[in-house]
Amino acid sequence: MSFQNNIFYNKVVDHSVSKEVFDLHHNPEFDMLITFPKPSLEKLPSYYESDDYISHTDGKRSVFEKMYHFVKGIALKKKLKLINSQSQKGKLLDIGAGTGDFLAVANSDGWQTVGIEPSTKAKEIAIKKGVNFAQDFASLESNSFDIITMWHVLEHVPNLEEYISELKRLIKSSGTIIIAVPNFKSYDAKYYGEFWAAFDVPRHLWHFSKTAIQKLFAKQNLKLVEVLPMKFDSFYVSLLSEKYKNGKMNFLKAFWIGLKSNQYGNRKKEYSSHIYVIKSE
C-alpha cells in the first residue's frame, strides 16, 4: 500500500517525550493524516520511554492519573458489553493489551483470552493479573478468533497494511474486529490544532477518519458495519491538550471543550474517538 500525493497539513511537537517536531501530511485518497518522518523501527521504542506513558505503567500518582483509571473502569464495562453483543463467549485476541485490564475483565467473564503487547514493562504488570500473551502473530492459528480488539493501537503500528492483513488471517469468517482510534475530524482536534494531544507524534503514525478505516479494511474484504462514539475521550484529550497549549491542566476549560466536542459529535457524527465494528464481507 502506497500513500502518494500527500499534502502538508501541520507541524506538531512531541510534547510528552522528545520535544521533536514532526510534520502531518494529508492523504486525500484515504482522508487520513500521516506522521512524517516516520521513526525507524530501531528508534521508535525510545519514544515510549516515559513514566508519563500511563497505558504502560498503571500509574496513579496524580489527580489526572487517578481520574484516568476511574474513567477506565467505566470504559472496561462498556467494552465488555460491546464484545458480548457481537458474539457468544469464545476466543478473544487483544492486540496492544498494555497492562492487561481489558483481558483480565474479559477472562473473568468467561472469554478465552490472549494478548499481544510489545512493552516488556506493561506485560510484566499484566501477567500478574493472570493475562496470557502470545509471542507474536506467527504463533497464532489462522481463522481462530471470534473477536479481535485493538483499543487505541492501530495508530501506533509501523506496517499498517501488514497488520490489517494479519487481522484478516486471524479472525473467523463469522468473527468481529473492533478498532478504536482518535478522530482528527472532531471538534476538539479542530479547536486545539497542533496542540491536540491525540496527535501524539511520533507514537501515532497514522491519524484516521471514518473514510480511511472503511477503505483500508475494504482492501482485505472486511466491511465496516458500525461506528460508535467514545465520549469520555473528548474530556481526557482536552485536558492533556490544555496542558500542551497553556502549560497547565485547566479542568473547567477542558470539560467545556469536551462537552462542546460531544455536542458537535452528536450533530456531525464526528467524535473525539470512534470505535469501528468490522466484519468479513
CB hemisphere CA count around 206 (13 angstroms): 24
Binned at pLDDT 50, 70 and 90, residue 65 comes out as low
Helices (H), 128-250: 160-170, 187-192, 210-218, 233-246
Task: Go through the domains of the chain in sequence order and give each one's CATH number.
Answer: 7-280 (3.40.50.150)
Q: What are phi and psi of 12, to 5 degrees?
A: -135, 140
Task: Identify the pLDDT of residue 38.
Answer: 94
The pTM assigned to this predicted structure is: 0.92
Q: Is the pLDDT of residue 62 over 80?
A: no
Report how far residue 265's alpha carbon sits from residue 271's, in angstroms, rounded to the nearest whole number. 4
Poorest-pLDDT segment among 65-74, 114-123, 223-232: 65-74
Summarize pLDDT for 107-155 with one digit per residue, the tens. Answer: 999 999 999 999 888 999 999 999 999 999 999 999 999 999 999 999 9
Summarize pLDDT for 156-214 with one digit per residue, the tens. Answer: 999 999 999 999 999 999 999 999 999 999 999 999 999 999 999 999 999 999 999 99
